[in-house]
């Protein structure tokens, strides 16, 4: 089970400010195998694409690049927090370590 999931709001806590340090945004996708996350509007890159069926014109496209999962921190009730796991009613759940609230 991952500490960060798709749809979570996270704060970027490490890296270059140009890449998004300090920004809060939503997680687009999580690659648990490689320990990477795709965060909306963070670590933007320019990619040169050929014309294709999906993109008729091609050209330079700006898109998000993955960043390390260790460089983001979950935001719960407007406050960044570490995430822990505990069992509630026989089910494993994530909880915020700052105040002990169950996240999901």
- CA R_g for the chain: 17
Share above pLDDT 70 across residues of the chain, in percent, rounded to a whole number: 99
- C-alpha 39/C-alpha 25 separation (Å) is 6
Residue 4 has pLDDT above 90, yes or no: yes
Q: Mind listing the pLDDT tens digit for each residue in 33-55? A: 999 999 999 999 999 999 989 88
Alpha-carbon distance values, 36 to 48, 61, 72, 100 (Å): 22, 21, 10, 26
**pLDDT (mean) for 67-95:** 93
76: tokens are 């719960």
This prediction has a pTM of 0.82
Q: Give the pLDDT band (50/70/90) at residue 26.
A: very high
Query: Which are the contacts of 43, defined by CB distance < 8 A and separation ≥ 6?
Result: 15, 19, 20, 64, 65, 66, 67
Looking at residue 1, what is its pLDDT?
65
Report pLDDT for 19.
Answer: 80
pLDDT tens, position by position, 47-76: 999 998 988 888 999 999 999 999 999 999
Q: What is the model's pLDDT at position 20?
A: 86
**Separation between Cα atoms, residue 67 and residue 21, nearest integer Å:** 11
Q: CA–CA separation, 33 vs 59, rounded Å? A: 31
Average pLDDT on 7-13 reads 94
């Amino acid at each position: 089970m991952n500490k960060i999931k798709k749809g979570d709001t996270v704060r970027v806590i490490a890296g270059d400010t140009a890449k998004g340090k300090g920004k809060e945004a939503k997680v687009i996708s999580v690659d648990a195998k490689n320990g990477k996350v795709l965060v909306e509007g963070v670590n933007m890159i320019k990619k040169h694409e050929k014309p294709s069926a999906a993109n008729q014109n091609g050209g330079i496209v700006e898109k998000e690049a993955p960043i390390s999962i260790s460089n983001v921190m979950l935001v719960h009730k407007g406050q960044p927090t570490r995430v822990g796991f505990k069992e509630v009613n026989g089910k494993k759940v994530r909880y915020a370590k700052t105040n002990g609230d169950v996240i999901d």
